[in-house]
């Protein structure tokens, strides 16, 4: 009797290639990677008014008082005001989803792509806000040089030298945050490494917008900070945000496609209000 050869004509995945999926697709999609959004809470905020331009009036310093001579009195001192204007610009993004995709996809297409639009609009606002950070007239640090703990101390002290009052915050690029951590772990280790260290947690990567509290301020990070540098500035005073229309998401059927348009739009503008209330930190 002949011996059977099991390798002859076995039923393989090639022979039965119509009976299974070429690849299994998860219904849990992994979101896109985006920069940290950190700036918005620290801007002086104004909501919708009946103009696309919002003015923050500022008072100029008329100088100090002076003595006067009896019988002569005082002469009027000239005094002026200034204004900082934020112009609301329209921005947004849109997608059109075909009916065929919505009929076939495993995910909630409308919900998923709508959320992307929201994140895209938030990143636009973060981009225009971080663009103001390197505009302050006064600077600390040196361009193309690693940021250090001493740089943060110098920036905070610069605000003190200008008699600024309030709460300040620092926003930097993640590279600058890494340089500060390196500095704290090397040249500043002898001072800061003991049990009484005034800056616990500064060596820990947070993988979030908030980095640590150092030099008297909460320090945040986002990769949208310009290559020139970030800043230390007074919260709700140095920089302004005029939001005429918060992000609005709308849908519209396109029956000739057929499909559905998802449109996210907003109108907002930013401005530096008080230059003395901020200190640009030059980085590498």
Distance CA 144, CA 250 (A): 45
Q: How would residue 201 be classed by pLDDT, with cut points 50, 70 and 90?
A: low
Q: Which residue reads 């002949």 in tokens? A: 2
Give the chain's mean pLDDT. 93
Task: Name the residue with higher pLDDT: 196 or 140.
Answer: 140
* pTM of this structure: 0.91
pLDDT value of residue 1 = 60
Q: How far is CA 6 from CA 10, 11, 16, in A?
A: 7, 10, 17
Q: How would residue 199 be classed by pLDDT, with cut points 50, 70 and 90?
A: low
Distance CA 283, CA 229 (A): 5
- 3-state SS class at 168: strand
Domain boundaries, the chain: 40-57+83-189+204-282
Distance CA 175, CA 180 (A): 9
Distance CA 171, CA 3 (A): 78
Distance CA 262, CA 97 (A): 8
pLDDT value of residue 233 = 98
* CB atoms inside a 10 Å sphere around CB 183: 20
Which residue from 139, 167, 157, 137 is spatially nearest to 229, judged by alpha carbons? 139
């Amino acid at each position: 009797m002949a011996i059977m050869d099991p390798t002859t004509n076995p039923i393989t995945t090639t022979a039965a290639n119509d009976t299974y999926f070429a690849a299994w697709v998860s219904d849990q999609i992994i979101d896109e990677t985006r920069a940290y959004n950190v700036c918005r809470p620290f801007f002086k905020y104004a909501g919708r008014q009946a103009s696309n331009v919002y003015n923050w009036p500022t008072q100029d310093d008329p100088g100090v008082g002076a003595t006067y001579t009896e019988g002569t009195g005082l002469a009027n001192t000239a005094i002026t005001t200034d204004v900082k204007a934020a112009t609301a610009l329209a921005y947004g993004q849109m997608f059109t989803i075909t009916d065929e995709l919505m009929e076939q996809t495993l995910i909630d297409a409308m919900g998923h792509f709508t959320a992307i639009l929201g994140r895209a609009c938030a990143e636009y606002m973060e981009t225009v806000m971080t663009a103001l950070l390197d505009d302050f007239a006064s600077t600390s640090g040196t361009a193309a040089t690693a940021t250090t703990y001493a740089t943060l101390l110098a920036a905070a002290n610069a605000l003190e030298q200008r008699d600024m009052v309030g709460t300040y915050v620092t926003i930097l690029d993640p590279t600058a945050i890494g340089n500060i951590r390196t500095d704290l772990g090397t040249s500043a280790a002898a001072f800061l490494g003991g049990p009484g260290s005034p800056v616990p947690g500064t060596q820990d990567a947070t993988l979030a917008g908030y980095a640590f509290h150092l030099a008297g301020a909460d320090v945040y990070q986002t990769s949208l900070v310009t290559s020139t540098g970030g800043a230390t500035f007074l919260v709700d005073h140095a920089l302004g945000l005029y939001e005429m229309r918060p992000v609005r998401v709308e849908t519209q059927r396109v029956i000739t496609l057929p499909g559905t348009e998802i449109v996210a739009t907003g109108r907002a503008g930013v401005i530096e209000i008080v230059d003395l209330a901020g200190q640009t930190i030059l980085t590498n």
